Amino acid sequence: MKAIQIPPVLAAMNAVFERSGFQAYLVGGAVRDLLRGKTPTDFDVATDATPEQMMRLFRRVIPTGIEHGTVTVLFRGEKIEATTFRAESGYSDSRRPDAVAFGAGIEADLSRRDFTMNAVAVSLRSGEAVDPFGGRADIQGKIIRAVGAPLARFREDGLRPVRAVRFAATLGFALEAETERALSATSDVTAAVSRERFRDEFCKMLAADKPSLGLRLMEKSGILALFIPELLECRGVAQADFRGHHQFDVLDHLFYACDGAPRENLDVRLAALFHDVGKPAVQGAAQKPDASGTAQKIRTFYNHEQTSAKLARSILIRLRFPKRAVEYVSLLVARHTFHYGPSWSDAAVRRFLTRVPLSAVDDLFSLRLADIYGMTRSKSVISGARRENLAEFRERILRILEAKQALSLKDLAVNGYDLRQIGIPAGKLLGTVLNELLDAVLADPAKNTREHLLNIAGELYSAGFQSGISEF
């Protein structure tokens, strides 16, 4: 077979190895990328040099996993992970090998890898491929096949089935039949995988062009039931009625909404996946007249956004997402049901901005478009009038911001101290008055003057506001 062109930085690195009598091979995802005509984003090297020897060969070396034979070599601006050839045996905890033997040859090293597409090595000296398991053909055929017996390979590490699903989604490859059957047959070891390890693979899967491919495979294999069972409650929950908004049940809608979210934005993809996860808990039915006035049954999901936000928070916490992501994604889910129209008053736009942080507006708009896409899987529905509608909404928001109109209590021309000076006691009542003042200013920005607001506050207080009257 034709030799593979070795990137210059690796050729230079190999010269260092060869001067001391060592072999070095490119392995892992970079080989797969090169064989697919893609440019690798990082490099992994396998060598017969030990970590201690590599630390003497190269000036800048980080002992990132020295107990496993791995170091990170900082070489000509690249971070290159280099691992000593090794063989493994015994996986009693279904995660780590019980014994690791260094000094094995490259073929023994490749035999411990998960899938044939990841078990191809390329000599840094000659560019020739070492391919003992037919990985090159599987890459060309877009097939994910376990090295050796799939059941045995998956039982060695319960994360491997999750990785298989992730690769299927991100690469667009199909699982070989026996390998796919093994996904379900090894659910006991997959269930033992830490939530953090699953989360990391899950996030990589969500960065695929179409994460629905991986999500559906997770559902079919039982992996989804192990880690995010709440989503399975959405299967079979119909949404379609005479209004024609939805074509799919809730779960397919969530999968396709995830596809429709920007792939580079993990927060929005997570929000798209969970934005309706609460619908099964609140589903109902009502009557609504159609165009002819005839009463028709409609499906209802009142306040589903709040239930969905609570479930999203619970899921993200369980999967050990950072607190920032938990809070932000939950916020997007809770606020996703806005339906802007040109008839909105400026006051309505200002009230929208009191509920949604300015920093979240663009992401919320992206989530809204993803939600719409997920209803029909038609890209045409998120272009034209709907996109122009959101563009108009954004312009109106910008105009309000440019005018520096009050949108929060800190923007008011008075504060709690000012209200105490006119006799309103500190406490819950004072806070309620301040909120009423903000509501008045949201309705009419011209009222945001010290004199005007103090007059309003005094009138509210003297009119018996302290007795519990809350209308203004």
How far apart (Å, rounded) are the C-alpha atoms in residues 327 and 258? 19
How far apart (Å, rounded) are the C-alpha atoms in residues 147 and 153? 7
Residue type, 372: I
How far apart (Å, rounded) are the C-alpha atoms in residues 116 and 1? 18
Domain boundaries, the chain: 8-141, 143-227, 235-405, 409-467
Q: What integer pLDDT is reported at residue 467 of this predicted model?
A: 56
Tell which residue, 151, 144, 153, 154, has the closest CA to residue 117.
144
> First-to-last CA distance in the chain?
82
Residue carrying the six token digits 């060969």 = 57
How far apart (Å, rounded) are the C-alpha atoms in residues 209 and 199? 18
How far apart (Å, rounded) are the C-alpha atoms in residues 116 and 132? 9
How far apart (Å, rounded) are the C-alpha atoms in residues 15 and 18? 5
Topology given in CATH for the domain delimited by 143-227: Hydrophobic Seed Protein (1.10.110)
E strand or H helix at 75, and its extent?
strand 70-75
How far apart (Å, rounded) are the C-alpha atoms in residues 17 and 85? 14
CATH code of 8-141, in short, is: 3.30.460.10
Measured CA to CA in angstroms, residue 65 lies from 70, 83, 104, 199 at distances of: 5, 9, 18, 21
For residue 261 the two structure tokens come to: 């979210």
- The upper half-sphere exposure of residue 228, i.e. CA atoms within 13 Å in the direction of its Cβ, equals 25
Measured CA to CA in angstroms, residue 285 lies from 291, 305, 407 at distances of: 19, 17, 37
- Report how many helices (DSSP H) and strands (DSSP E) the chain contains, helices first: 24, 13
pTM: 0.90
Say how far residue 21 (Cα) sits from the centre of its chain.
45
Q: Where do the H-state alpha helices sit in 319-413? A: 323-334, 346-355, 361-376, 385-402
Residue 289's φ and ψ, nearest 5 degrees, are: -75, 140
Beta strands in 292-340 (DSSP E): 295-300
Q: What integer pLDDT is reported at residue 471 of this predicted model?
A: 44
How far apart (Å, rounded) are the C-alpha atoms in residues 147 and 276? 39
C-alpha gyration radius of the chain:
29
Give the Cα-Cα-Cα angle 120, 122, 124 (nearest 5 degrees).
155
Residue carrying the six token digits 């101290």 = 417
**Segment 172-175 long-range contacts (CB within 8 Å, at least 24 positions apart):** 172/142, 172/209, 172/213, 173/117, 173/142, 173/143, 173/144, 174/142, 174/143, 174/144, 175/143, 175/144, 175/217
CATH code of 235-405, in short, is: 1.10.3210
pLDDT in tens, the chain (472 residues): 678 999 999 999 999 999 999 999 999 999 999 999 999 989 999 999 999 999 999 999 999 988 889 999 999 999 999 999 987 544 554 455 544 566 679 999 999 999 999 999 999 999 999 999 999 999 999 999 999 999 999 999 999 999 999 999 999 999 999 999 999 999 999 999 999 999 999 999 999 999 999 999 999 999 999 999 999 999 999 998 877 678 899 999 999 999 999 999 999 999 999 999 999 999 998 888 888 888 888 889 999 999 999 999 999 999 999 999 999 999 999 999 999 999 999 999 999 999 999 999 999 999 999 999 999 898 877 777 888 999 999 999 999 999 999 999 999 999 999 999 999 999 988 999 999 999 999 999 999 999 999 999 999 888 765 455 444 4
Q: What integer pLDDT is reported at residue 329 of this predicted model?
A: 98
How far apart (Å, rounded) are the C-alpha atoms in residues 84 and 69? 5
How far apart (Å, rounded) are the C-alpha atoms in residues 335 and 275? 9
Q: Which residues are registered as beta bridge partners of 73?
A: 61, 80
Contact 231, 254 (CB under 8 A): yes
Q: What integer pLDDT is reported at residue 378 of this predicted model?
A: 85
Tell which residue, 250, 255, 388, 269, has the closest CA to residue 333.
269
Pairing of strands 70-75, 78-84: antiparallel
Residue carrying the six token digits 């993990």 = 266
How far apart (Å, rounded) are the C-alpha atoms in residues 23 and 335? 57
Q: What integer pLDDT is reported at residue 470 of this predicted model?
A: 47
